[in-house]
Structure 1
Amino acid sequence: MHDDGARAAAAGGNFAEWSVPWSDLMMIMFMVFAVLFIYSGAKERLTREPQASPAETKAPTDPMKAFLGELDAPVKDGKAFLDAAGQPVNETYYQSDNLGISVVRETDRQVRVFMRGDLFFSSGGDALSGNSGQYLARIAELLRVSTGAVLVVGHTADGETATPEESLALSAKRASSVAQYFIRTANLDPKRFLVTGRGSFQPEVPATAEDAEKRNRRVEVLVLTDI
């Protein structure tokens, strides 16, 4: 019996050698789900939507039009947009325990990734934190399976800078840091990216909220899956 136990232990190996941290496992599961979502959505549209004639074919979504409001944005002034049945269209795919990352499906053709707080940027800083690379690499895989435009929007928390002009500049630099990672490190096509900064003018939560400083210090990545 002792020999049987030894053989079982040898066959099973050391559990610690192949075990995966829970947070990493959740991110891996999210990535698998996101990829399946993108492919299933594309397949569903091919079978559901009639092919347009050449005269009716629409041009791909213009990223600038998205920022000008012609693309559905489900979260505005803290309220979710509603579908035809009056139901919110956004659905959270993944949210880390510390709210550092959230991934939200806003419509059947777009996904928004929220990257917040110290996990990505220090207060007043525009350089990516040392631990952000492992998360950005996984987000890059989501971008890789979508051929649509990628909108990168930087934000600051209230009080991070002395003037509104400095706030806008800081938020734009944060968005640029994220976009540069995707382009230079992940080798994604730079033509897909549009980068902008909103300063502290579009906070995720009111400045009086307990966690406002970390939640409003963020970059959002909007992934369009309809192109």
Structure 2
Amino acid sequence: MAKKGRREHHEEHVDESWLIPYADLLTLLLALFIVLFASSSVDAKKFEQIMQSFNVALTGGVGVLEQPAPVPVNTKDVQTIQRTVTKGKGKSDNQEEEKSEEQKKFEAAYQKETNDLKQLQQQINDYIVQHKMTDRLQTKLSEEGLMITILDNALFASGSATIRPDARELAKEIAKQLVPLPKQVTVTGHTDTMPINTYEFPSNWDLSTKRATNFLKILLENKSLDASRFSATGKGEYHPVATNATPEGRAKNRRVELMVLRDFTDLHQPAKKTN
């Protein structure tokens, strides 16, 4: 009977071995929550809490029942890390501030340039109206710059690249208006699709190039202009702005375009310089 009683007492004993892995799980969860809490900002106190928690969870023991003592944190190391993080943050803030200041400078320069080009456009428009040339000259301000379009009948006789005497005054007036605005300027000649084959102009390429060059030469008679900022080119018949099927359309395609280029093509970047 005694033996039977001892067996019954043994069977009633509660097995508590499950507490050990359960306690380990709680420890890891506690360490995780501490890390999440401390990750919002780095300072010496929170850094020490993180180090201690990881030490407990990963190297300090097997469970909360053993109550391991964490390894102390070196305060100097914490301060060094904190200074490094603070320095990095300060550098980033400074870079953002410098970027913002640079952006403001670009915006101010872009706006000033736009105002200058608008003033030049207004001056050219006033000249056009005053001399009743609205059917032969046009101006257009865009992100690329100020375009001044001159139909060929305002400058040349048919099939000729020689600028008429009365048109020289127009070129000189435009040159005078360009002096206060030292920009890159391109002069481009265009023709219609009507073929030309003379000794002087074997093709429309030759005619358009010669017209652009001759107009540019008169502009540069004004010695106040920097010739290194100017260029001339001919594009023949290959960039029409109207149909070549009608006389009116062909008249629009025969033109010289003078483009005053921007130094800033948008609010962020300076325009690419051309040589």
TM-score of the superposed pair, with normalisation by structure 2? 0.45
Aligned to 1:138: 173
Deviation at 1:117, TM superposition (A): 2.6
Instruction: Using the TM superposition, give the Cα deviation of residue 48 of structure 1 relative to its aligned residue in structure 2, in angstroms.
Output: 9.4
Higher relative contact order (CA 8 A, sep 6+): 1
Where does residue 25 of structure 1 map in the other structure?
none
- 1:100 and 2:136 aligned: yes
Higher strand share: 1
1:49, 1:134 → 2: CA distance?
42
RMSD of aligned alpha carbons: 2.8
**C-alpha displacement at 1:211, in angstroms?**
1.3
Q: Which amino acid aligns with 1:105?
A: L
Structure 2 partner of 1:170: 207
Give the aligned partner of residue 50 of structure 1.
104
Cα separation, 2, equivalents of 1:166 and 1:187: 34
Asked whether 1:122 is paired with 2:157, we answer yes
Number of positions where the alignment pairs a residue of Structure 1 with one of Structure 2: 141
Q: Structure 2: 5+ residue runs without aligned partners?
A: 1-100, 107-120, 265-275
SS of residue paired to 1:161? coil
1:211 corresponds in structure 2 to 248
150-159 vs 211-220, which deviates more?
Answer: 211-220
Q: Residue 37 of structure 1 aligns with which residue? A: none
- 1:68 maps to none
Amino acid at match of 1:172: T
Between 1:117-126 and 1:184-193, the stretch displaced more is 184-193
Larger radius of gyration: 2
CA distance in 2: counterparts of 1:195 and 1:122, whole angstroms: 20
Greater mean deviation of Cα atoms: 170-179 or 210-219: 210-219
Q: Distance in 1 between matches of 2:191 and 2:224?
A: 27
1:195 aligns with 2:232: yes
SS, match of residue 113 in structure 1: strand
Give me the TM-score of the superposition, normalised by structure 1.
0.54
Change beyond 3 A, Cα 1:97–1:193: closer
TM superposition shift of 1:138: 2.0
Counterpart of 2:216 in structure 1: which amino acid? Answer: A
Could you say what secondary structure the match of 2:243 adopts?
A: coil
Comparing 137-146 and 94-103, the one that deviates more:
94-103
Which stretches in structure 1 are left out of the alignment for 5+ residues?
A: 1-46, 53-91
Tell me if the contact between 1:140 and 1:186 (Cα under 8 Å) persists in the aligned partners. Answer: no
- C-alpha change, 1:139 and 1:208, in structure 2 (3 Å) is same
The aligned residue for residue 63 of structure 1 is none
Q: Which one of 190, 195, 218 corresponds to residue 181 of structure 1?
A: 218
Shift in Å, 1:161: 1.1
Give, as a single letter, the amino acid of the residue that structure 1 aligns with 2:251: K
What is the aligned partner in structure 1 of residue 194 from structure 2?
A: 159
C-alpha separation in 2, matches of 1:103 and 1:51: 28
Deviations 1:61-112 (A, max 9, x none): xxxxxxxxxxxxxxxxxxxxxxxxxxxxxxx8646655211111122x6100
Residue type of the alignment partner of 1:171: S
CA distance in 1, matches of 2:222, 2:195: 28
Instruction: Quote how far apart the aligned CAs of 1:175 are.
Output: 0.5
CA distance in structure 2 between the aligned counterparts of 1:186 and 1:101, rounded to whole angstroms: 25
The whole-number CA distance in structure 2 between the counterparts of 1:145 and 1:212 is: 35
Question: Aligned AA for 1:196?
Answer: T
Equivalent position of 2:86 in the other structure: none
**Which runs of at least 4 in structure 1 moved beyond 6 Å after TM superposition?**
none
